[in-house]
């Protein structure tokens, strides 16, 4: 199946919301990690989301000039070709983009998609994220309103992060403290500034103690039940039941119970990066340790081309990451739900 059209992406999100499941959103940094994500979705019989962060896009752009737009555009074009060979629908998304990188990342990509739509094509990406969590809420929502109008015109969904997620991702960091919890007032101000779909669809990354990175159980206090308070608080004012499509950030290491509570309260997308990075790298290290004398030319020997050929360890890495993606689909209840 091809990359999801705007209509299919909206249907995917609607089905997730109604069915109380969510799609894993897998960060990729190469064509190989892209294939791992697609394979994981296919083996789980789940549609899904592939996303590229600013750092991932810079890496994809090549170390010679490190251009984010080039990297993101190149991988998206590649994905539009290879995704046709996988029996699932996949949406392309750009991950966290702070204010200082909007002009070098999201705005140019929006312009590329608008030009495509003007020619009667579908957008290059199906959604983009604006991370204004480092700004005041007013400035955050002012910029979000501007980007939402541009996104809607290009048939793209916008993701907004209105309050901080702890930890660090691509150079944006926040302390782990009591500010990591979105309030009903924050949600009401968001609804007032962006509407509830009539000005364009958006996904909301609300904070309920989420932290980027990897932590041992007990180090992060998640309160996914808070999302129900946000839904109800805005519903009482707007009259719209369950008005938000929530995104779960900083989900690595979350318990199945925490994930289940988040799904019950409107989460339709959950980001995975830390766990899939490890799942990709672990088989490579194992391969190198098991084939030390072949991977390296030790004591003047010539090594073994069969084991230092990137394809030998690359296949193992792809399989390892794909398995972790499939597990995520199971945890998020999206396994077996693909659109036919």
Catalytic residues: 95
267 burial level (CB within 10 Å; 0-12, 13-18, 19+): buried
147 phi, psi to nearest 5 deg: -70, -35
3-state secondary structure of 296: coil
What is the torsional sign of CA 194, 178, 93, 241?
negative
H or E segment to which residue 333 belongs: none
* Number of neighbouring beta carbons within 10 Å of residue 108: 16
Q: DSSP class of residue 12?
A: H
**147 burial level (CB within 10 Å; 0-12, 13-18, 19+):** buried
Among residues 97, 111, 112, 23, the alpha carbon closest in space to that of 57 is found at 97
With left for phi above 0 and alpha for psi between -120 and 50, is residue 253 left, alpha or beta? Answer: left
d(CA 33, CA 215): 23
């Amino acid at each position: 199946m091809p990359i999801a059209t705007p209509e299919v992406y909206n249907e995917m999100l609607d089905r997730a919301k109604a069915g109380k499941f969510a799609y894993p959103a897998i960060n990729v940094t190469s064509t190989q990690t892209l294939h791992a994500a697609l394979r994981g979705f296919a083996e789980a019989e789940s549609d899904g989301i592939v996303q590229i962060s600013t750092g991932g896009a810079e890496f994809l752009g090549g170390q010679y000039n490190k251009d984010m737009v080039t990297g993101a555009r190149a991988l998206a074009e590649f994905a539009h070709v290879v995704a046709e060979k996988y029996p699932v629908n996949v949406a392309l998304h750009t991950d966290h983009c702070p204010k200082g990188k909007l002009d070098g990342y999201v705005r140019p990509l929006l312009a590329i998609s608008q030009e495509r739509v003007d020619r009667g094509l579908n957008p290059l990406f199906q959604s983009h994220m604006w991370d204004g969590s480092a700004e005041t809420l007013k400035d955050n929502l002012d910029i979000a309103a501007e980007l939402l109008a541009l996104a809607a015109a290009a048939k793209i969904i916008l993701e907004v992060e209105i309050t901080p997620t702890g930890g660090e991702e691509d150079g944006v960091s926040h302390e782990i403290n009591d500010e990591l919890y979105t309030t009903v007032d924050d949600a009401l101000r968001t609804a007032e500034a962006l509407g509830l779909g009539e000005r364009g669809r958006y996904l909301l990354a609300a904070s309920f103690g989420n932290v980027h990175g990897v932590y041992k159980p007990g180090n992060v206090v998640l309160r996914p039940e808070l999302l129900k308070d946000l839904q109800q608080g805005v519903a009482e004012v707007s009259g719209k039941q369950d008005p938000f499509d929530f995104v779960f950030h900083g989900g690595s290491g979350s318990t199945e119970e925490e994930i289940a509570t988040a799904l019950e309260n409107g989460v339709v997308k959950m980001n995975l990066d830390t766990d899939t990075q490890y799942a990709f790298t672990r088989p490579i290290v194992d391969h190198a340790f098991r084939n030390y004398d072949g991977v390296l030319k030790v004591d003047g020997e010539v090594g073994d081309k069969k084991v230092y050929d990137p394809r030998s360890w690359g296949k193992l890495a792809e399989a390892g990451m794909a398995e972790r993606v499939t597990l995520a689909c199971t945890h998020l209840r999206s396994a077996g739900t693909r659109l036919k």
